Structure formats: structure tokens, C-alpha cells
Amino acid sequence: MHVLIIGGGGREHAIAWKLSQDPRIGTIYVAPGNGGIDELERTENIALTGVDELFEFAKDRDIDLTFVGSEALLVEGIVDRFQSAGLTIFGPDQQAAQLEGSKAYAKSFMKKYGVKTAAYERFINLDAAKEYVANADYPLVIKASGLAAGKGVIICQNQDEAETALHEMMVDKRFGEAGEEIVIEAFLTGFEASILSFTDGKTILTMPAAKDHKTIGEGNTGENTGGMGVVCPHPAFSAEHEAAFQQDIVAPTLAGLQAEGMAFAGVIFFGLMINDDGVFLLEYNMRMGDPETQAILPLLRSPLLDPVMAAIEQRLDEITLDWRDKHAVCVVAAAEGYPGDYQTGETIEYIEQARFFSQVFLAGVKHHNDEYLTNGGRVLNVVGLGDSLEQARSTAYSSIDKIAFKGITYRRDIGE
């Protein structure tokens, strides 16, 4: 079978890497791919990005399975388009993708079906929102409802900060259309966890919990990024947390998807906050996480194609995932300046040396002649495995320490 993967980050490199080990798969096309992806066996980058051109490509090349990496095209309705022509695609349709595309919609869904989450209100009117924050308890959290690449969330300590945030979102339109509707919710303390799952609409098959490190600075300081490192399994997520998660989040989510007629074959990523009151859902993402995927897939012993095809064929209840009894630590190397402005085009050296003991997934990287050049903010991911978290950590760091490019920036405290 021929597969099309849509995306070009470290996540898509990890997905392509895992699928390329599967003898059932012929050619893997990745759109647009990157400078690491096309080095895999039977794998090609293709320079396409829009729904229409991807659709034409999938039809012309008899693609048997399309796997969508990131959220934007899902929210645009790529799944509906492919399915209307009978093409097989793994991911939510446009309506289910709203669980990620609209935080207001997601919160209403959680409330309606009893998914445990922070108390909230939604607003489209600035004056109503201002009146609400004048009488609220602090801290509180103000979120642009639409897609904002993880940046549309502002934690406010007092009324002044809340009014500034409302102004930025609703008047200055800092997040564009995404801030036309906002969600204001109670601030939760605790620690966070990311749990990815496969679903076919009848079953939600969860993967081990992972711990993302969202800020650019060590000790969780500085601006939020797309993710600077991941540890899997999550060192603080216990069997009791897992039981609470299944009962308070997974079961009502599945019931809600069914009741709304929103069943689909794809991924649900649960962004969780855990404290003494239990496990709370902060957000749904309707796709694999980046960089969670880069830490999780090297731990998966069984083929990735099995749960994907089982989900599409609605027999996910027959599948058990086989996990290695190891720990994974993924460290992201970014360009200097990220998540603000950064340079591209720097030469990257010694990737092969880092690959000696660790898996290296490339993200913002392109080939030029025989060199690798930086081509994005998050440049690459180094994943160390070990029998303990400490061992995985030291493997990942001794490998990433070999890699060199001008301005290379990474946190030294991933998994500490």
C-alpha cells in the first residue's frame, strides 16, 4: 500500500520512520516533508500543501492511506473532502476537528457530557467579558477560542492583566479571527500530562502518558513554545491517575462523540492538568502531539499501521499495543531566538554522530547540496532510550551535545 503523510515536522519524521519499517507499505509520500524524511527508505518529499492539490495527488497516485499530521487542514475539512471521493484518510472530519479548532465548542462539549474540566464562560462581546473579569477570582485564564499555535492562552493575575488580555484578543486582534470568541476559565494548579489515543468511534485506545516541556527556558520559565522536550512515560502519572483519567475524561468523551454522531477514525490527544482534586482536561487536540510523538513512537514495538487500519475498519477493540519496557527522553534543538525571530540557513553538523546512540528526527531542516541547513524554529529532536529515565536522559544529552549549528539552543533540564 502507498501512504501519504501530511506535514513536515519532527512528528511527521517520526511517523514516516515508524511506517517505513513496515513491509506492507510501499512508497511513503510526505507533503511537504523535510530534509530528514526523504532519507528514509521508500520515502519521498512532495512539495504540496493545500487541500485541493493534496486531494488531486492522492487520487492520481492511488494513495491507499492518508495520515494528517497537524490540525490546520483537519479544521479546514480535508477529511470530508477525501472521504467524499472514497479516499481512505485517518483523522477527524471538520465537525470533530472543532474539538481542537474551537476551544469554546470543546468546553461546551466537555460540560454537556461531564468531562472533568475547569469551570468557564465563553464571550463574543467585549463589554460582557470586561464585566465578568471585574467580578472574578484570580488568577484566571483567558483563551482565544480559535487556533493560535499554542500561543492564545494568557494567565492573568488581576483585573488589569485580564483587561489587557481582552483588549489584545478582541480589539487589537493579536490572534486574528481566533480571538473573536474567547473562553475565560478558572486557573488550575497541578502538573500537566499529554495522553495520545487512537479512536474508531467505538473505542478509545490510549497510549502511555507523556510529559511535555512547553517553555523555552529551563525550570519552566520564559515564553511558551510548541514544546522543547518530552519524557515518556510520564514520571508523575500514577495508576490512580490513569484510572481517574479513564473514568472522568475518556469514557464521557467517547459517550459524547457517539451521542453527537461525531465518531471518526483518528487520534485524540488529551492535554491534562492533574492535582489533588483529580485529572482535568485542559484541551483536546485531534492529532498526534509534536514533540510527544517523537518520544512515544520509539517505544512502540508493534507496527503503527495496525491501530491505524483497525481504527479505519472500526475494529480497534481487537488491538493491543505492544510497548517496550523503556523510558524515552526527547530533547528539541531550536534556533537561537525561537519562539521569537530566528535565522535559518545555518549548517548543521554531526547528525550522524548523534545517531550512533539516539534516534534523531529532523524538523526545521532542509538539504542543500550535501549539507543539512536549518530551516525553522524547532530544528531537530534527539530521542534517547534507556532502562531508566536517568539513562535515557544521559543518552539523549550525550547525543545532542555532539550536534552543532550556529545558535543551537536546547533546554538542559528535560526529564530532570
Secondary structure, 3-state, 333-397: EECCCCCCCCCCCCEEECHHHHCCCCEEEECCEEEECCEEEECCCEEEEEEEEECCHHHHHHHHH
Distance CA(221)–CA(215), nearest Å, equals: 6
Q: Which does 185 bind (CB under 5 to 8 A by kind): ligand AMP, ligand GLY, none?
A: ligand AMP
Region of residue 372 (left: phi > 0; alpha: psi -120 to 50; beta: else): beta
Interface residue with ligand AMP, options 71, 283, 290, 292 (CB under 6 A): 283
Q: Is the peptide bond before 139 cis (omega within 30 degrees of 0)?
A: yes
C-alpha cell recorded at residue 209:
502518558
Residues in the interface with ligand AMP (CB under 6 A) total: 13
Interface residue with ligand GLY, options 290, 342, 399, 415 (CB under 6 A): 290
If one asks whether residue 34 binds ligand GLY (CB under 6 A), the answer comes out as no
If one asks whether residue 153 binds ligand AMP (CB under 6 A), the answer comes out as yes
Q: Which does 192 bind (CB under 5 to 8 A by kind): ligand AMP, ligand GLY, none?
A: ligand AMP
Min dist. Cβ of residue 319 to ligand GLY (A) = 23
Interface residue with ligand GLY, options 292, 310, 408, 411 (CB under 6 A): 292
Q: Which does 289 bind (CB under 5 to 8 A by kind): ligand AMP, ligand GLY, none?
A: ligand GLY
C-alpha cell recorded at residue 401:
551535545
Within 181-200, which residues bind ligand AMP (CB under 6 A)? Answer: 185, 187-188, 192
Min dist. Cβ of residue 154 to ligand AMP (A) = 9
Is residue 101 within 8 Å of 178, Cβ to Cβ?
no
Q: Which stretch binds ligand GLY (CB under 6 A): 125-133, 288-296, 330-338, 404-412?
A: 288-296
- CB neighbourhood size of 346 (10 A): 19
Within 91-150, which residues bind ligand GLY (CB under 6 A)? Answer: 150
Q: Which stretch binds ligand AMP (CB under 6 A): 86-94, 180-188, 329-337, 368-376?
A: 180-188
| Residue with smaller CB distance to ligand AMP, 45 or 102 | 102
Q: Residues 6 or more apart from 82 whose CB is under 8 A from it?
A: 55, 58, 66, 88, 89
If one asks whether residue 8 binds ligand GLY (CB under 6 A), the answer comes out as no
Residues in the interface with ligand GLY (CB under 6 A) total: 7
If one asks whether residue 12 binds ligand GLY (CB under 6 A), the answer comes out as no
> Residue 323 in 3-state DSSP?
strand
If one asks whether residue 404 binds ligand AMP (CB under 6 A), the answer comes out as no
Q: Which stretch binds ligand GLY (CB under 6 A): 132-140, 286-294, 304-312, 374-382?
A: 286-294
Distance CA(7)–CA(13), nearest Å, equals: 9
Secondary structure (DSSP) of 283-305 = EEESS--TTHHHHHGGGB-S-TH
Q: Which of 74, 364, 35, 411 minimizes the C-alpha distance to 227?
A: 411
Distance CA(360)–CA(16), nearest Å, equals: 13
Residue 37 per-residue DSSP state: G
Min dist. Cβ of residue 294 to ligand GLY (A) = 10
Q: Which residues sit at the interface with ligand AMP, rule CB under 6 A? A: 118, 141, 143, 150, 153, 185, 187-188, 192, 214, 271, 282-283
Q: Which residues sit at the interface with ligand GLY, rule CB under 6 A? A: 150, 212, 227, 285, 289-290, 292
